[in-house]
Chain A
Amino acid sequence: MLSIGYVLKRLLQIIPTLVFIVVVTFLIVRLLPGDPASAILGDKATDAEVARLHAEMGLDRPLIVQFGNFALRVVQGDLGTSTAVKLPVGRIVLDRLPATLLLTVMAAFLALLLAVPLAFVAALRQGRLGDTVIQGCFQVGLSMPVFYVGLILLTVFAAGLRWFPVGGYGDTYLLHLYHLFLPALTLALSLAAVLMRNLRTAILDALTADYADFARAKGLPTRVVLFRHVLRNALISTVTLFGLNIGTLLGGAVITETVFAIPGAGRLMIDSIYARDYPTIQGLTLVLAVLVSVAFLLTDLVQASLDPRVAQ
């Protein structure tokens, strides 16, 4: 159904995006005010120590040389060494990324699990009590900051009812899933609210569209009309919205990882920025950019398979 040409074209489009992101990240960290060496060393450092670290970080060389070295290493798959923890950036990112990915995937899954059925209920019961309750609940969820929702869930379901651990990540794969449930739910709630409202409107539109009337007139059962005709068309805009929100989900992971004490990539990013750990900021940004680009690509492919006009 999808032409290989379309997939290839989309893949090639990712490359300039990534180059652009690498250049911008490299420049942005260097535009931050204040000297990174003295920021890392703090108020008590002597001038000699600052100069020593400056040289160690290669910051005494011209910008273009610094970028050349960085780009050359990236092409060879080497992201450099962290100035904060003195470990290879590639290893740190690989170490921290799985938790964030698992959290994001779980959150996305939970968000869909919540949004799709509830959107149907709300749409089919438009204006009635069910619709009002569902919309009301999501409105509240949407208005509350993520860290607050997280703390409430922790206090009630972890510290209070003892159904879940109070933060952390666990040691085994199953324990990871168990530990990540509440943080994933925290993230899912805000995304589910956005998706649900969008899908509800789309379903309402599709329900009143001519093709839905036609399908019903043909005598098709409601179930078939809803799933084959209404849902498929209503999902197109929701998939786009879902894809666009993957980036937001990764952003939300920063806060969720802090509240739930998960050693993920989001927290790594924040810590690295505070520590002015240039190699880690650059490496992590690059890896996340690749992931978001892949997510966008997948979104486009799903969309194209739902609506063949997109691929043309």
Chain B
Amino acid sequence: MRYRWSALIALVAAMHVGTAAAVERGGVMTFGRYADSLFLDPASTEVNVDIWILSNLYDTLILPSDDGKGLQPGLATSWSFSGDNKTLTLKLRDGIKFSDGSPITSADAKWSLDRTRNPDTGAWASLYESIDSIAAPDPSTVVINLKHPDPALLPVLTAFASAVMPSKLIEATAGATLADKVKAFAEHPVGSGPFKLQSWKHDAEMKLVPNPYYWRMGEDGKPLPYLDGVTFEVIPDDATRILRLKSGELDASEFIPYARVEELKNDSSLNMELFPSTRIEYVALNVRPELDGKPNPLANPKLREALNYATDKDAIVGIVTHGVGTPMTSFMSTATPLHVGDKPLYPVDVDKAKQIMHEAGLDKGVKVTLMTLAGNEDEVGIATALQQMWKEIGVDLEIQQIDNATRTAAYRAGTFPSRLSLWTDDIADPSEITSWALYYPAVQSFHTGWKNDKAVEIFQASQKEMDPAKRQEEYKQLQEIFNSEGPTVPLYETPYPVALAKRVQGFNQLPLGNNLFAQAWLKK
């Protein structure tokens, strides 16, 4: 019954949109990117430049909803869990085909997911840890057997890494090993998504054209996509990318620097879009009692609390993001499902911070070191602001500018004193960031060494909790614990700034970053 109602609402909504602006077909949309993709393989890629456009080439069994927080049918039209929640059965859509016209079967889905969940071939295997085995009993049925109930499984199946690839074609590609076959296949891929790759000149231009066999229907009752193609142009320099958009040579330009968002908002020929994102920026504080054989001042929770109250987030939002960002209201972004909180964490209160320092016997002051990325404008901006703010409560902040490889090594080894960190979710579920933030057995809480037994216990329970209401309650508790005691100084979250020419309609970027062109169209 509920399903029928939602279908009716969707229909009414579609009719409403239809009357507001009838979609027009045709035209090639040119999109200016800051960097090119590297290797378009859903299972093994680790980088956003690949991940964020993969969903145009490959579909998943279940698709993310348009706001990125929910689910909608993809290559599978329906799915259901068994009574013990340990078996998920998915039914494939009738007549679906890859971009070469060959049928998409459950064997392709099984092969693809098996490659992704295998740690030897899949970079994201840990997300699929709950899967015990996958079966394809008939060409249109996929059965996923689980080791234990997994509430994150459905969102994980919408992620880029769950893409369905043509197994027979890849196995038949020349190459000594599977890795070699995938490399060769990636040069001329055949996909299941709305577009297919037409040509690719690395670091210059990538052309996508419609997949003629795509199943999804547009508002006009004909198959998507509406566009005749998408051309990505790689323009690393921010100023040039904007200049090209302004002179009409591009239809869209991604990653507009925060400093220029206001200017482009006032440009009548453009739509300056700020798509909600899961991107957050925070300071991670190492709480281990000793660092380098010396006592670590940040092991004292009082000092960490004082640093939080001494930090003026609004000022940092103003200085670094030019007002584009907003202070964090929980350790996860507001765009992450099950986020709780409507008030900024630790509103600035220097007197309170001083009081806490006094109570902790730190009147004489302490020295803290912060690792920042050399040459990164945002990080240097934040670090110098923190230096001034923390000085007021007697904290002498030493800024250590180093390169990413060095910092990552110190971070992973748990030997960093404190660092600036940036995070974006990869699945539309809070479990990924939460396992990183507070589930000590995973990565020792953002590698800080912070451990809260209660949080670990609740998280473990939440990972098997299939009752949405109970899981929501668990996440509320987890956020309360981390937000009051966690080893970070939360700073801000920022949207994705994309500038579009006025004629571009229907382009969408999900909170996870995926750029979606299937429903984009150009007004003539």
- Cα distance A277–B407 in the bound complex, in angstroms: 18
Asked if A34 and B408 make an inter-chain contact with CB atoms under 8 angstroms apart, the answer reads yes
- State A47–B126 Cα separation when bound (angstroms): 12
A84 to B249, CA, bound (A): 29
Binds A, one of B163-171, B240-248, B303-311, B392-400: B240-248
**A-B CB pair tally, cutoff 8 Å:** 117
A151 touches B239 (CB 8 A): yes
Is residue A210 within 8 Å, beta carbon to beta carbon, of the partner chain?
Answer: no
Chain A residues with CB under 8 Å of B408's CB are 34-35, 38-39, 42-43
Q: Across the interface, do A159 and B203 meet the contact criterion of CB distance under 8 Å? A: no
**A46 touching B126, Cβ below 8 Å:** yes
What sequence of 0s and 1s flags, for each residue 85-106 of chain A, a beta carbon within 8 Å of any chain B beta carbon?
1110000100110000000000
Chain B, Cβ-Cβ closest to A34? B405
- Tell me which of A35, A43, A46, A95 contacts B202 (CB under 8 A): A95
At the interface, yes or no: A260 with Cβ under 8 Å from chain B?
yes
Contact B233 A259 (CB under 8 A): no
Q: Looking at the complex, which one of A32, A84, A167 makes contact with B240 (CB distance below 8 Å)?
A: A167
Chain B residues with Cβ below 8 Å from A260 are 240
- Please measure, in the bound complex, the distance between the C-alpha atom of A92 and the C-alpha atom of B411, giving whole angstroms: 33
Q: Which of B240, B407, B408 has the most CB of A within 10 A?
A: B240
Given contacts A42-B46, A86-B183, whether A267 and B240 have CB atoms under 8 Å apart is no
Residues of chain A contacted by B119 (CB below 8 angstroms): 48-49, 52
Contact of A45 with B by CB under 8 A: yes
Number of chain B residues whose Cβ lies closer than 8 Å to a Cβ of chain A: 42
Which residues of A sit under 8 angstroms from B406, Cβ to Cβ?
33-34
Q: Is A71 part of the binding interface, using a Cβ–Cβ cutoff of 8 Å?
A: no
A166–B240 CB distance below 8 A? yes
CB distance from A254 to the nearest CB of B (A): 11
| Complex contacts, B240 vs chain A, CB 8 Å | 151, 154, 166-167, 259-261
Select from chain A the residue with minimum beta-carbon distance to B404.
Answer: A39
Q: Is the CB of B247 within 8 A of A158?
A: yes
Q: Which residues of A contact B123 (CB under 8 A)?
A: 41, 45, 49
Which residues of the other chain, B, contact A95 by a CB distance below 8 angstroms? 201-202
Neighbouring B residues of A86 by C-beta, 8 Å: 38-39, 183, 186
B405 to chain A, nearest CB (A): 2
CB distance from B460 to the nearest CB of A (A): 19
Which of B233, B409, B411, B436 lies at the interface centre, i.e. has the most chain A CB atoms within 10 A of its CB?
Answer: B409
Q: Is the CB of B202 within 8 A of A263?
A: yes
Given A52-B120, A154-B243, A261-B237 in contact, is the A165-B249 Cβ separation under 8 Å?
yes
Residues of B within 8 A of A85 (CB): 38-39, 202
Q: B412 at the A/B interface (Cβ < 8 Å)?
A: yes
A57 to B87 alpha-carbon distance, docked (Å): 39
- CB atoms of B204 and A166 under 8 A apart: no
| A243 adjacent to chain B (CB < 8 Å) | no
Rounded to whole Å, the gap between the CB of B88 and the closest CB of chain A is 25
Alpha-carbon distance A39/B408, docked complex (angstroms): 7
| Cβ of B235 under 8 Å from chain A | yes
Kindly state whether residue B365 has any CB partner on chain A within 8 Å.
no
Residue pair A263, B405 in contact (C-beta under 8 Å): no
- With A33-B403, A263-B202 in contact, is A166–B247 under 8 Å at CB? yes
> Would A263 and B234 count as touching, CB distance under 8 A?
yes
A141 at the interface (CB under 8 A from B): no
Does B421 sit within 8 A of A, measured CB to CB?
yes
Q: Is the CB of A36 within 8 A of B405?
A: yes
Q: Is the CB of A261 within 8 A of B126?
A: no
Tell me which residues across on chain A come within 8 A of B234, comparing CB atoms. Answer: 261, 263
Indicate if A292 sits at the interface (CB-CB under 8 A).
no
Q: Do the beta carbons of A268 and B249 come within 8 Å of each other?
A: no
A50 neighbours in B (Cβ, 8 Å): 412
The SS class assigned to the B binding surface is mixed
Q: Does B236 contact A (CB under 8 A)?
A: yes
Q: Whose C-beta in chain A lies nearest to the C-beta of B443? A: A46
Q: Which residues of B contact A167 (CB under 8 A)?
A: 235, 240, 243-244
| Residue from A34, A147, A261 with most neighbouring chain B CB atoms (10 Å) | A261
B246: nearest chain-A partner, CB-CB: A159
Q: Is the CB of B404 within 8 A of A166?
A: no
Partner of B405, one of A33, A154, A159, A268: A33
- How long is the Cα–Cα vector from A178 to B262 in the complex, in angstroms? 34
| Residue A258, interface by CB 8 Å | yes
Query: In the complex, which residue of chain A has the Cβ closest to the Cβ of B411?
Result: A43
List B contacts of A48 (CB < 8 A): 119
CA distance A255 to B119 in the complex (A): 39
Contacts of B233 in A (CB 8 A): 168, 261
If A85-B202, A169-B204 touch, does A34 touch B39 (CB 8 Å cutoff)? no
In the assembled complex, which residues on chain B have CB atoms less than 8 Å from the CB atom of A35? 405, 408-409
A205 at the interface (CB under 8 A from B): no
How many angstroms between the C-alpha atoms of A92 and B201 in the bound complex? 10
How far, in whole Å, are A155 and B242 apart by their CA atoms in the complex? 11
Q: Which residues of A contact B235 (CB under 8 A)?
A: 167, 261
Q: Within the complex, what minimum Cβ distance (angstroms) separates B320 from chain A?
A: 20
Which of A52, A166, A258, A263 touches B244 (beta carbons < 8 Å)? A166
Q: Could you mark each residue 43-64 of chain A with 1 if its beta carbon is under 8 Å from any beta carbon of chain B, else 0?
A: 1111111101000000000000
User: Contacts A33-B403, A35-B405, A261-B234; is A92 near B202 (CB within 8 Å)?
Assistant: yes
Across the interface, which residues of B come within 8 angstroms of A34, CB to CB?
A: 403-409
Residues of chain B within 8 A of A38, CB atoms compared: 405, 408-409, 412
Chain A hits for B246, CB < 8 A: 159
Within the complex, what minimum Cβ distance (angstroms) separates B510 from chain A?
A: 18
Q: Do A271 and B203 touch (CB < 8 A)?
A: yes
Contact yes or no, A84 B46, CB < 8 A: no
A276, CB-defined interface residue at 8 Å: yes
Contacts of A96 in B (CB 8 A): 202-203
In the complex, what distance in Å separates the CA atom of A84 from the CA atom of B49?
Answer: 12
A84, B120: Cβ atoms closer than 8 Å: no
Contact A155:B403 (CB < 8 A) given known A52-B120, A85-B38, A267-B236: no
Closest residue of B by beta carbon distance from A91:
B202
Interface string of B401-422 (1 = CB under 8 A from A): 0111111110110000000010
> Separation in Å of the B92 CB from the closest CB of chain A?
31
Within 8 A of A (CB), among B220-246: 233-237, 239-241, 243-244, 246
Q: How far is the CB of A154 from chain B (nearest CB, A)?
A: 6
Residues of A within 8 Å of B247, CB to CB, are 158-159, 162, 166
Residues of B within 8 A of A258 (CB): 236-237
Q: Which of A32, A41, A166 contacts B243 (CB 8 A)?
A: A166
- Proximity bits, B242-258, A CB within 8 Å = 1, else 0: 01101101000000000
Contact A263 B411 (CB under 8 A): no
In the complex the two chains form, is B243's CB within 8 Å of A155's CB?
yes
With both beta carbons as reference points, the residue of chain B lying nearest to A39 in the complex is identified as: B405
**Which residues from chain B contact A151 at a C-beta distance below 8 Å?**
239-240
Residue in chain A with minimal CB distance to B421: A43
Chain A residues, Cβ within 8 Å of B47: 42
Which single member of B46, B186, B204, B421 contacts A263 (CB below 8 Å)? B204
A84, closest chain B residue (CB): B38
- Tell me which residues across on chain A come within 8 A of B412, comparing CB atoms: 38, 43, 47, 50
Question: A39-B404, A47-B412 provided; 4 other pairs, C-beta below 8 A?
Answer: A34-B407, A151-B240, A261-B233, A261-B241
Q: Enumerate 21 A-B pairs (CB-CB under 8 Å) in ascending A order.
A: A34-B404, A34-B407, A35-B405, A38-B408, A39-B408, A42-B46, A48-B119, A85-B202, A92-B202, A159-B247, A166-B249, A258-B237, A260-B240, A261-B204, A261-B236, A261-B237, A261-B241, A263-B204, A267-B236, A268-B203, A275-B38
Among all A-B residue pairs, the 3 with the closest Cβ atoms: A34-B405, A39-B405, A263-B204
